[in-house]
Amino acid sequence: MIEVLSLGGMESERYADVLSNTARAVADEGVSEASAALQPIAGEIWMGRLTTASRAGEERAAAPPRLRNETLRAQVFVRDGFRCTSCGGRAVPRSILVAIHDLFPDLVAYDVHYTRGKIHPVFWALAPEADHVLAHSRGGANVLDNLTTLHAVCNTRKSDSLVSDSLRAAPSSPNDGWDGLTSLYPALISAGAGEVRPGYHRTWSRRYEALMS
Ligand SMILES: [Zn+2]
């Protein structure tokens, strides 16, 4: 086990590279061959502390109601090109990270509450959240125009206020080919993730497929 105590932008990009190689290897070669591609980050465990209301556990339960409309969340990520509008780095939807966990449970730990000591740091570093531009607590609505893509870790660095215009204007690169690994999601499902949580992965992969077509 390798303990990870903090995350910077470079880590997000490194994780995105490793997971891209891994997902590609699953699709092209198979799960056992792909574990070699995952080795650079295998067994890491998040042991850091994050200091906002979106922390896991009881703080999360006390936080304002989270966005329930999952299709709307997916629309936000697709519109933003699966990039964090705070740091500009690549994002990978949580369901796809869960699929990688399902294929490599001993190498990439997952905990639904993102609890330190129980989860691989890729979830904090890469999973996007649909965050309100005008905070929900200030009357911001759950609509596409008021939502923006932030890495879970970047969301914890932002105060409960407006995302500044400069952050919102971060270059989205819809033509750079990055798709959040959605095109490889079906391969991860048929390689075995679909046997672990069939309904969950079927729902999320169809949702992205519909939005990306
Ligand atoms: Zn970010």
How confident is the model over 148-167, as pLDDT tens digits? 999 999 998 765 444 444 44
**What is the tally of structural domains in the chain?**
1
Distance CA 115, CA 71 (A): 25
Supply the angle between the helices 94-103 and 31-38 in degrees, to the nearest 10: 110
Domain that residue 20 falls in: 2-212
Distance CA 2, CA 122 (A): 13
CA 126–ligand 1 middle distance (angstroms): 8
- Which tokens go with 23? 């997902």
pLDDT of residue 175: 59
CA 88–ligand 1 middle distance (angstroms): 6
Instruction: Say yes or no to pLDDT of 9 above 60.
Output: yes
To the nearest 5 percent, what fractions of the chain are helix, strand and coil?
50, 10, 40
CA 82–ligand 1 middle distance (angstroms): 11
Of residues 168 and 196, which shows the higher confidence score? 196
CA 118–ligand 1 middle distance (angstroms): 22
